[in-house]
Amino acid sequence: MATSTITPVLLCGGSGTRLWPLSRKSYPKQFSPLLGDTTLFQASAQRLSGADYAAPLVLTNSDFRFIVTEQLAEVGIDPGAILIEPEGRNTAPAVLAAALHLQKSDPDGLMLVAPSDHVVPDASAFRAAVEAGVTAAQDGQLVTFGIKPTHAETGYGYLELDGDAGDFSPRPIGLKQFVEKPDAKTAEEMLAAGNYLWNAGIFLFSVKSIITAFQAHAPDLMPPVQAAVEHGLPDLGFLRLDPQTWSGADDISIDYAVMEQAENLTVVPFAAGWSDLGGWDAVWREAGPDVNGVVAQGSATAIDCEGSLLRSEDAGLEVVGIGLKNIIAVAMPDAVLVADAGRAQDVKLAVAALKAKQANQATAFPKDHRPWGWFESLVVGDRFQVKRIVVHPGAALSLQSHHHRSEHWIVVEGTAKVTVDNDVKLVTENQSVYIPLGAVHRMENPGKVPMVLIEVQTGSYLGEDDIIRYEDVYARS
Task: Give per-residue pLDDT as tens, 217-265.
Answer: 999 999 999 999 999 998 777 899 999 999 999 999 999 999 989 999 9
173 and 261 housed in the same domain: yes
379 and 241 housed in the same domain: no
pTM: 0.88
Write down which residue in 344, 378, 397 finishes a domain: 344
88 and 166 housed in the same domain: yes
249 and 295 housed in the same domain: no
153 inside domain: yes
Dmax (CA) of the chain = 75
Q: Is residue 359 scored above 90 in pLDDT?
A: yes
With residue 315 as reference, give the H or E element that holds it.
none
Domain count, the chain: 3
Q: What is the CATH number of the domain that holds 194?
A: 3.90.550.10
Q: Which domain holds residue 303?
A: 280-344
3-state secondary structure of 355: helix
The span from the CA of 190 to the CA of 238, in Å, is 44
The span from the CA of 23 to the CA of 17, in Å, is 6
Between the two ends of the chain, the Cα-to-Cα distance in Å is 46
Q: Is residue 176 scored above 50 in pLDDT?
A: yes
157 and 55 housed in the same domain: yes
Write down which residue in 329, 344, 359 finishes a domain: 344
431 and 460 housed in the same domain: yes
Q: What percent of the chain has pLDDT over 90?
A: 79
411 and 331 housed in the same domain: no
361 inside domain: no
254 inside domain: yes
Work out the average pLDDT over 181-209.
93
- Give the pLDDT band (50/70/90) at residue 2: very low
3-state secondary structure of 343: helix
Write down which residue in 270, 305, 326 finishes a domain: 270
Q: Is residue 387 scored above 90 in pLDDT?
A: yes
238 and 305 housed in the same domain: no
Q: Is residue 1 scored above 70 in pLDDT?
A: no
- pLDDT higher for 371 or 99? 99
Are 84 and 62 contacting, i.e. CB atoms less than 8 angstroms apart?
yes
The span from the CA of 21 to the CA of 295, in Å, is 17
3-state secondary structure of 421: coil
3-state secondary structure of 127: helix
Q: Which amino acid is at 250?
A: D
Summary count for the chain: helices (H), strands (E): 11, 28
314 and 396 housed in the same domain: no
The span from the CA of 452 to the CA of 444, in Å, is 11
54 and 183 housed in the same domain: yes
Q: Is residue 3 scored above 80 in pLDDT?
A: no
pLDDT, tens digit (0-9, with 9 covering 90-100), for 16-63: 789 999 999 889 999 999 998 899 999 999 999 988 899 999 999 988
- Give the pLDDT band (50/70/90) at residue 99: very high
119 inside domain: yes
